[in-house]
Structure 1
Amino acid sequence: MSVTRLLADYGYLAVFAGCLLEGETILLLAGFAGHQGHLSLPLVLAIAFIGGALGDQIFHWAGRAWGTALLGRIPGFHERARRVIALLKRHDALLIVGIRFMYGLRIVGPIAMGAVGLSPRRFSVFNVVVAAIWAPLVGGLGYLFGHAVEALLGDVARFEEVALALIVAGAALFALIHARLRARSKSKDPE
Protein backbone atom coordinates (compact mmCIF):
# COMPACT_ATOMS: atom_id res chain seq x y z
CA MET A 1 0.00 0.00 0.00
CA SER A 2 1.39 3.42 -0.93
CA VAL A 3 1.97 6.24 1.53
CA THR A 4 -0.50 8.35 -0.44
CA ARG A 5 -3.21 5.72 0.00
CA LEU A 6 -2.48 5.44 3.73
CA LEU A 7 -2.70 9.21 4.02
CA ALA A 8 -6.03 9.28 2.20
CA ASP A 9 -7.43 6.41 4.31
CA TYR A 10 -6.14 7.38 7.75
CA GLY A 11 -5.05 11.01 7.44
CA TYR A 12 -7.99 12.57 9.27
CA LEU A 13 -7.75 10.03 12.09
CA ALA A 14 -4.01 10.73 12.37
CA VAL A 15 -4.69 14.48 12.53
CA PHE A 16 -7.23 14.00 15.31
CA ALA A 17 -5.03 11.62 17.33
CA GLY A 18 -1.92 13.76 16.82
CA CYS A 19 -3.69 16.97 17.80
CA LEU A 20 -4.99 15.41 21.01
CA LEU A 21 -1.30 15.41 22.00
CA GLU A 22 1.33 17.85 20.75
CA GLY A 23 0.14 17.87 17.13
CA GLU A 24 2.34 20.39 15.32
CA THR A 25 4.23 17.89 13.15
CA ILE A 26 1.16 15.95 12.06
CA LEU A 27 -0.74 19.17 11.40
CA LEU A 28 2.08 20.58 9.26
CA LEU A 29 2.12 17.34 7.25
CA ALA A 30 -1.67 17.39 6.95
CA GLY A 31 -1.53 20.99 5.68
CA PHE A 32 1.01 19.88 3.09
CA ALA A 33 -1.25 16.92 2.17
CA GLY A 34 -4.10 19.42 1.81
CA HIS A 35 -2.05 21.38 -0.69
CA GLN A 36 -1.37 18.19 -2.62
CA GLY A 37 -5.08 17.37 -2.73
CA HIS A 38 -4.85 14.23 -0.57
CA LEU A 39 -6.84 15.79 2.29
CA SER A 40 -9.34 18.62 2.49
CA LEU A 41 -7.63 21.57 4.18
CA PRO A 42 -10.83 22.96 5.77
CA LEU A 43 -11.61 19.50 7.20
CA VAL A 44 -8.02 19.11 8.44
CA LEU A 45 -8.25 22.49 10.21
CA ALA A 46 -11.63 21.67 11.77
CA ILE A 47 -10.39 18.28 13.02
CA ALA A 48 -7.18 19.86 14.34
CA PHE A 49 -9.19 22.51 16.19
CA ILE A 50 -11.44 19.89 17.79
CA GLY A 51 -8.57 17.51 18.61
CA GLY A 52 -6.34 20.26 19.98
CA ALA A 53 -9.03 21.85 22.14
CA LEU A 54 -10.33 18.50 23.38
CA GLY A 55 -6.84 17.20 24.18
CA ASP A 56 -5.98 20.20 26.31
CA GLN A 57 -9.36 20.00 28.07
CA ILE A 58 -8.70 16.35 28.89
CA PHE A 59 -5.25 17.17 30.27
CA HIS A 60 -6.66 20.05 32.33
CA TRP A 61 -9.35 17.77 33.73
CA ALA A 62 -6.72 15.09 34.51
CA GLY A 63 -4.69 17.77 36.28
CA ARG A 64 -7.66 18.73 38.43
CA ALA A 65 -8.37 15.10 39.28
CA TRP A 66 -4.88 13.61 39.66
CA GLY A 67 -2.48 16.49 38.98
CA THR A 68 -0.08 16.31 41.88
CA ALA A 69 0.23 12.51 41.80
CA LEU A 70 0.46 12.44 37.99
CA LEU A 71 3.14 15.11 37.79
CA GLY A 72 5.19 13.32 40.43
CA ARG A 73 5.11 9.99 38.57
CA ILE A 74 6.12 11.14 35.10
CA PRO A 75 9.89 11.69 34.73
CA GLY A 76 10.78 15.20 33.65
CA PHE A 77 7.29 16.62 34.23
CA HIS A 78 7.90 17.76 37.80
CA GLU A 79 10.49 20.43 36.92
CA ARG A 80 8.50 21.66 33.90
CA ALA A 81 5.32 21.74 35.97
CA ARG A 82 7.06 23.81 38.66
CA ARG A 83 7.99 26.40 36.01
CA VAL A 84 4.46 26.41 34.59
CA ILE A 85 2.96 26.90 38.06
CA ALA A 86 5.29 29.81 38.83
CA LEU A 87 4.34 31.52 35.56
CA LEU A 88 0.67 30.70 36.05
CA LYS A 89 0.48 32.61 39.29
CA ARG A 90 1.59 35.77 37.51
CA HIS A 91 0.22 35.50 33.96
CA ASP A 92 -2.52 32.88 33.68
CA ALA A 93 -4.21 34.19 30.49
CA LEU A 94 -0.93 34.63 28.61
CA LEU A 95 0.24 31.22 29.75
CA ILE A 96 -2.92 29.45 28.62
CA VAL A 97 -2.50 31.01 25.18
CA GLY A 98 1.28 30.63 24.97
CA ILE A 99 1.54 27.07 26.27
CA ARG A 100 0.07 25.70 23.04
CA PHE A 101 3.05 27.09 21.15
CA MET A 102 5.73 25.96 23.63
CA TYR A 103 7.32 22.68 22.60
CA GLY A 104 7.36 20.12 25.38
CA LEU A 105 4.83 21.94 27.57
CA ARG A 106 1.62 21.32 25.67
CA ILE A 107 0.67 18.31 27.81
CA VAL A 108 2.25 19.21 31.13
CA GLY A 109 0.93 22.79 30.97
CA PRO A 110 -2.79 21.97 31.14
CA ILE A 111 -2.09 19.26 33.73
CA ALA A 112 -0.23 21.74 35.93
CA MET A 113 -2.95 24.35 35.40
CA GLY A 114 -5.56 21.85 36.52
CA ALA A 115 -3.44 20.73 39.47
CA VAL A 116 -3.18 24.26 40.87
CA GLY A 117 -6.93 24.75 40.52
CA LEU A 118 -7.16 27.13 37.57
CA SER A 119 -10.85 27.69 36.88
CA PRO A 120 -12.12 25.19 34.31
CA ARG A 121 -14.31 27.90 32.78
CA ARG A 122 -11.40 30.33 32.37
CA PHE A 123 -9.18 27.61 30.95
CA SER A 124 -11.90 26.47 28.52
CA VAL A 125 -12.54 29.92 27.11
CA PHE A 126 -8.87 30.64 26.44
CA ASN A 127 -8.25 27.08 25.24
CA VAL A 128 -10.97 27.30 22.58
CA VAL A 129 -9.77 30.71 21.41
CA VAL A 130 -6.16 29.62 21.10
CA ALA A 131 -7.11 26.34 19.37
CA ALA A 132 -9.01 28.44 16.82
CA ILE A 133 -5.78 30.38 16.17
CA TRP A 134 -3.37 27.44 16.37
CA ALA A 135 -5.08 25.05 13.92
CA PRO A 136 -5.23 27.39 10.91
CA LEU A 137 -1.81 28.86 11.69
CA VAL A 138 0.06 25.55 11.82
CA GLY A 139 -2.03 23.81 9.15
CA GLY A 140 -1.72 26.88 6.95
CA LEU A 141 2.06 26.81 7.30
CA GLY A 142 2.04 23.23 5.99
CA TYR A 143 -0.16 24.32 3.10
CA LEU A 144 2.14 27.26 2.30
CA PHE A 145 5.12 24.92 2.51
CA GLY A 146 3.45 22.90 -0.25
CA HIS A 147 3.25 26.04 -2.39
CA ALA A 148 6.92 26.84 -1.75
CA VAL A 149 8.07 23.31 -2.59
CA GLU A 150 5.96 23.32 -5.73
CA ALA A 151 7.45 26.66 -6.79
CA LEU A 152 10.95 25.29 -6.31
CA LEU A 153 10.54 21.75 -7.66
CA GLY A 154 7.51 21.90 -9.93
CA ASP A 155 5.25 18.85 -9.74
CA VAL A 156 5.75 17.59 -6.18
CA ALA A 157 3.77 14.39 -6.75
CA ARG A 158 6.81 12.62 -8.19
CA PHE A 159 8.74 13.33 -4.95
CA GLU A 160 5.95 12.53 -2.47
CA GLU A 161 6.86 8.93 -1.69
CA VAL A 162 10.53 9.78 -1.15
CA ALA A 163 9.74 12.94 0.83
CA LEU A 164 7.29 11.18 3.12
CA ALA A 165 9.74 8.31 3.66
CA LEU A 166 12.45 10.85 4.56
CA ILE A 167 10.08 12.64 6.94
CA VAL A 168 9.16 9.38 8.68
CA ALA A 169 12.83 8.36 8.88
CA GLY A 170 13.75 11.81 10.24
CA ALA A 171 11.00 11.67 12.85
CA ALA A 172 12.12 8.18 13.93
CA LEU A 173 15.73 9.34 14.17
CA PHE A 174 14.69 12.39 16.19
CA ALA A 175 12.65 10.20 18.56
CA LEU A 176 15.59 7.82 19.02
CA ILE A 177 18.06 10.64 19.72
CA HIS A 178 15.59 12.31 22.09
CA ALA A 179 15.02 9.05 23.98
CA ARG A 180 18.75 8.45 24.34
CA LEU A 181 19.39 11.98 25.57
CA ARG A 182 16.59 11.64 28.12
CA ALA A 183 17.93 8.31 29.31
CA ARG A 184 21.43 9.78 29.60
CA SER A 185 20.23 12.84 31.54
CA LYS A 186 18.06 10.65 33.77
CA SER A 187 21.02 8.39 34.63
CA LYS A 188 23.06 11.48 35.59
CA ASP A 189 20.31 12.96 37.80
CA PRO A 190 20.49 11.81 41.43
CA GLU A 191 17.01 10.86 42.68
Structure 2
Amino acid sequence: MPSDFIHSLIEQYGLLAIFVGCLLEGESAAILGGFFAHQDVLVPWKIFVTVYAGAFCGDAVFFFAGKYSAAGPLVRRFERKPAFSYAQRMVRAHPTLYVLLNRYVYGLRMIGGVAAGLAGIRTPKFLALNALSSLAWSGIFMGIGYVFGTAAEQIIGSELARHERLLVAVGIGVFVVMAGFYLMHRLRRHQRPRSP
Protein backbone atom coordinates (compact mmCIF):
# COMPACT_ATOMS: atom_id res chain seq x y z
CA MET A 1 0.00 0.00 0.00
CA PRO A 2 1.51 3.42 -0.97
CA SER A 3 0.72 5.07 2.38
CA ASP A 4 2.46 2.23 4.25
CA PHE A 5 5.51 2.67 2.01
CA ILE A 6 5.58 6.43 2.64
CA HIS A 7 5.13 5.85 6.36
CA SER A 8 8.05 3.42 6.32
CA LEU A 9 10.22 5.97 4.48
CA ILE A 10 9.41 8.62 7.07
CA GLU A 11 10.29 6.26 9.91
CA GLN A 12 13.62 5.38 8.26
CA TYR A 13 14.69 8.72 6.80
CA GLY A 14 12.43 11.30 8.47
CA LEU A 15 14.99 12.52 11.01
CA LEU A 16 17.65 12.87 8.30
CA ALA A 17 15.24 14.83 6.09
CA ILE A 18 14.28 17.11 9.00
CA PHE A 19 17.96 17.72 9.82
CA VAL A 20 18.81 18.64 6.21
CA GLY A 21 15.72 20.86 5.98
CA CYS A 22 16.68 22.69 9.17
CA LEU A 23 20.24 23.23 7.91
CA LEU A 24 18.71 25.55 5.31
CA GLU A 25 15.75 27.86 5.93
CA GLY A 26 14.12 25.10 7.94
CA GLU A 27 10.71 26.40 9.05
CA SER A 28 8.69 23.85 7.08
CA ALA A 29 10.93 20.98 8.25
CA ALA A 30 10.56 22.04 11.89
CA ILE A 31 6.78 22.38 11.56
CA LEU A 32 6.53 18.93 9.96
CA GLY A 33 8.69 17.58 12.77
CA GLY A 34 6.23 19.00 15.31
CA PHE A 35 3.33 17.44 13.43
CA PHE A 36 5.05 14.04 13.34
CA ALA A 37 5.79 14.38 17.07
CA HIS A 38 2.10 14.95 17.79
CA GLN A 39 1.09 11.98 15.64
CA ASP A 40 3.77 9.70 17.17
CA VAL A 41 5.17 8.95 13.72
CA LEU A 42 8.66 9.70 15.09
CA VAL A 43 9.95 9.95 18.67
CA PRO A 44 9.29 13.54 19.89
CA TRP A 45 12.57 14.11 21.76
CA LYS A 46 14.58 12.80 18.80
CA ILE A 47 12.75 15.21 16.51
CA PHE A 48 13.49 18.14 18.83
CA VAL A 49 17.19 17.28 19.03
CA THR A 50 17.30 16.90 15.23
CA VAL A 51 15.56 20.23 14.61
CA TYR A 52 17.84 21.98 17.11
CA ALA A 53 21.00 20.42 15.69
CA GLY A 54 20.03 21.30 12.11
CA ALA A 55 19.18 24.90 13.04
CA PHE A 56 22.35 25.42 15.06
CA CYS A 57 24.68 23.78 12.53
CA GLY A 58 23.10 25.58 9.57
CA ASP A 59 23.68 29.02 11.05
CA ALA A 60 27.18 28.07 12.19
CA VAL A 61 28.13 26.89 8.68
CA PHE A 62 27.04 30.18 7.09
CA PHE A 63 28.72 32.19 9.86
CA PHE A 64 32.03 30.38 9.31
CA ALA A 65 31.66 30.82 5.54
CA GLY A 66 31.44 34.57 6.06
CA LYS A 67 34.22 34.66 8.65
CA TYR A 68 36.81 32.48 6.94
CA SER A 69 35.83 32.38 3.24
CA ALA A 70 34.96 35.98 2.51
CA ALA A 71 36.32 35.69 -1.05
CA GLY A 72 34.64 32.33 -1.71
CA PRO A 73 31.91 31.82 -4.33
CA LEU A 74 29.15 31.24 -1.76
CA VAL A 75 29.81 34.54 0.00
CA ARG A 76 30.11 36.42 -3.29
CA ARG A 77 26.77 34.97 -4.43
CA PHE A 78 25.06 36.13 -1.23
CA GLU A 79 26.65 39.59 -1.50
CA ARG A 80 24.80 40.10 -4.81
CA LYS A 81 21.39 39.56 -3.19
CA PRO A 82 19.34 42.73 -2.51
CA ALA A 83 18.77 41.86 1.16
CA PHE A 84 22.49 41.50 1.90
CA SER A 85 23.21 45.21 2.36
CA TYR A 86 20.24 45.44 4.75
CA ALA A 87 21.60 42.47 6.74
CA GLN A 88 25.03 44.10 6.95
CA ARG A 89 23.58 47.38 8.22
CA MET A 90 21.53 45.58 10.86
CA VAL A 91 24.34 43.34 12.13
CA ARG A 92 26.70 46.32 12.47
CA ALA A 93 24.10 48.41 14.30
CA HIS A 94 22.78 45.70 16.65
CA PRO A 95 25.06 42.62 16.56
CA THR A 96 23.66 40.77 19.60
CA LEU A 97 20.01 41.37 18.75
CA TYR A 98 20.70 40.57 15.11
CA VAL A 99 22.16 37.12 15.85
CA LEU A 100 19.29 36.32 18.22
CA LEU A 101 16.52 37.37 15.81
CA ASN A 102 17.93 36.90 12.30
CA ARG A 103 16.63 33.33 11.91
CA TYR A 104 13.04 34.53 12.38
CA VAL A 105 13.11 36.69 9.24
CA TYR A 106 12.13 34.39 6.39
CA GLY A 107 14.64 34.44 3.54
CA LEU A 108 17.42 36.18 5.50
CA ARG A 109 18.73 33.30 7.59
CA MET A 110 21.51 32.12 5.25
CA ILE A 111 22.38 35.64 4.14
CA GLY A 112 22.32 36.73 7.77
CA GLY A 113 24.77 34.08 8.91
CA VAL A 114 27.26 35.16 6.25
CA ALA A 115 26.75 38.83 7.15
CA ALA A 116 27.40 38.03 10.83
CA GLY A 117 30.64 36.28 9.89
CA LEU A 118 31.79 39.21 7.78
CA ALA A 119 30.90 41.68 10.56
CA GLY A 120 33.66 40.31 12.78
CA ILE A 121 31.48 38.99 15.61
CA ARG A 122 33.65 36.81 17.87
CA THR A 123 33.09 33.09 17.38
CA PRO A 124 32.30 32.20 21.05
CA LYS A 125 29.75 35.03 21.22
CA PHE A 126 28.09 33.97 17.99
CA LEU A 127 27.92 30.30 19.00
CA ALA A 128 26.42 31.13 22.41
CA LEU A 129 23.79 33.45 20.91
CA ASN A 130 23.10 30.98 18.11
CA ALA A 131 22.57 28.19 20.66
CA LEU A 132 19.95 30.28 22.50
CA SER A 133 18.24 31.42 19.32
CA SER A 134 18.17 27.88 17.88
CA LEU A 135 16.67 26.51 21.08
CA ALA A 136 13.81 29.03 21.07
CA TRP A 137 13.28 28.70 17.31
CA SER A 138 13.07 24.89 17.53
CA GLY A 139 10.47 25.07 20.29
CA ILE A 140 8.36 27.67 18.49
CA PHE A 141 8.23 26.01 15.07
CA MET A 142 7.88 22.49 16.41
CA GLY A 143 5.09 23.85 18.61
CA ILE A 144 3.33 25.23 15.53
CA GLY A 145 3.48 21.77 13.94
CA TYR A 146 2.21 20.18 17.14
CA VAL A 147 -0.75 22.61 17.24
CA PHE A 148 -1.49 21.79 13.59
CA GLY A 149 -1.60 18.14 14.62
CA THR A 150 -4.14 18.92 17.36
CA ALA A 151 -6.24 20.98 14.95
CA ALA A 152 -6.10 18.20 12.35
CA GLU A 153 -7.38 15.69 14.91
CA GLN A 154 -10.29 17.96 15.77
CA ILE A 155 -11.17 18.47 12.12
CA ILE A 156 -10.65 14.92 10.82
CA GLY A 157 -11.22 13.03 14.05
CA SER A 158 -8.95 11.55 16.68
CA GLU A 159 -8.79 8.22 14.87
CA LEU A 160 -6.67 9.48 11.98
CA ALA A 161 -5.63 6.74 9.61
CA ARG A 162 -1.97 6.58 8.60
CA HIS A 163 -2.55 7.85 5.09
CA GLU A 164 -4.66 10.76 6.43
CA ARG A 165 -1.81 11.76 8.74
CA LEU A 166 0.59 11.79 5.82
CA LEU A 167 -1.79 13.81 3.65
CA VAL A 168 -2.19 16.40 6.42
CA ALA A 169 1.61 16.53 6.83
CA VAL A 170 2.10 17.06 3.10
CA GLY A 171 -0.60 19.76 3.18
CA ILE A 172 1.17 21.56 6.03
CA GLY A 173 4.48 21.40 4.17
CA VAL A 174 2.95 22.75 0.95
CA PHE A 175 1.17 25.55 2.85
CA VAL A 176 4.34 26.67 4.66
CA VAL A 177 6.44 26.60 1.48
CA MET A 178 3.80 28.55 -0.48
CA ALA A 179 3.46 31.11 2.33
CA GLY A 180 7.25 31.50 2.41
CA PHE A 181 7.46 32.05 -1.35
CA TYR A 182 4.60 34.57 -1.16
CA LEU A 183 6.32 36.53 1.62
CA MET A 184 9.65 36.51 -0.24
CA HIS A 185 7.91 37.73 -3.40
CA ARG A 186 6.32 40.60 -1.45
CA LEU A 187 9.62 41.45 0.24
CA ARG A 188 11.47 41.55 -3.10
CA ARG A 189 8.79 43.78 -4.63
CA HIS A 190 9.20 46.28 -1.80
CA GLN A 191 13.00 46.20 -2.10
CA ARG A 192 13.07 46.95 -5.83
CA PRO A 193 13.95 50.57 -6.56
CA ARG A 194 10.92 52.46 -7.74
CA SER A 195 11.15 54.26 -11.05
CA PRO A 196 10.73 58.04 -10.83
Q: Structure 1 length normalisation: TM-score? A: 0.82
Out of 7, 11, 15, the position equivalent to 1:4 is: 7
Determine the structure 1 residue equivalent to 2:160. 156
Say if 2:76 is the partner of 1:72: yes
Determine the structure 2 residue equivalent to 1:49. 52
Task: Identify if the C-alpha distance between structure 1 residues 30 and 127 changes in structure 2 by more than 3 Å, giving closer, same or farther.
Answer: same
Kindly state the Cα deviation for residue 156 of structure 1 after the two structures are TM-superposed. 2.7
Contact 2:63 2:117 (8 Å CA) reproduced: yes
Q: Helix, strand or coil: the match of 1:99? A: helix
Q: Helix, strand or coil: the match of 2:109? A: coil
Q: What is the CA deviation profile of residues 65-101 of structure 1, one whole-angstrom value per residue up to 9, with x for unaligned ones?
A: 2235533334853x21210110111111111111111
Out of 85, 102, 105, the position equivalent to 1:102 is: 105
Q: Provide structure 1 residue ranges, at least 5 long, that are not aligned to the other structure.
A: none
Q: Helix, strand or coil: the match of 1:100? A: helix
Q: Helix, strand or coil: the match of 1:22? A: coil
CA-based RMSD of the aligned residues comes to 2.8
Measured in 2, the distance between the counterparts of 1:128 and 1:65 equals 20
Contact 1:21 1:55 (8 Å CA) reproduced: yes
Q: Helix, strand or coil: the match of 1:131? A: helix
Measured in 1, the distance between the counterparts of 2:146 and 2:118 equals 37
Out of 137, 143, 148, the position equivalent to 1:145 is: 148
Q: Helix, strand or coil: the match of 1:122? A: helix
Q: Helix, strand or coil: the match of 2:100? A: helix
Task: Identify if the C-alpha distance between structure 1 residues 75 and 90 changes in structure 2 by more than 3 Å, giving closer, same or farther.
Answer: closer
Kindly state the Cα deviation for residue 163 of structure 1 after the two structures are TM-superposed. 3.0
Task: Identify if the C-alpha distance between structure 1 residues 88 and 134 changes in structure 2 by more than 3 Å, giving closer, same or farther.
Answer: same
Task: Identify if the C-alpha distance between structure 1 residues 33 and 129 changes in structure 2 by more than 3 Å, giving closer, same or farther.
Answer: same
Determine the structure 1 residue equivalent to 2:27. 24
Q: Structure 2 length normalisation: TM-score? A: 0.80
Q: Helix, strand or coil: the match of 1:17? A: helix
Determine the structure 2 residue equivalent to 1:87. 90
Q: Percent identity?
A: 29
Measured in 2, the distance between the counterparts of 1:140 and 1:171 equals 14
Task: Identify if the C-alpha distance between structure 1 residues 160 and 98 changes in structure 2 by more than 3 Å, giving closer, same or farther.
Answer: same
Kindly state the Cα deviation for residue 153 of structure 1 after the two structures are TM-superposed. 1.7
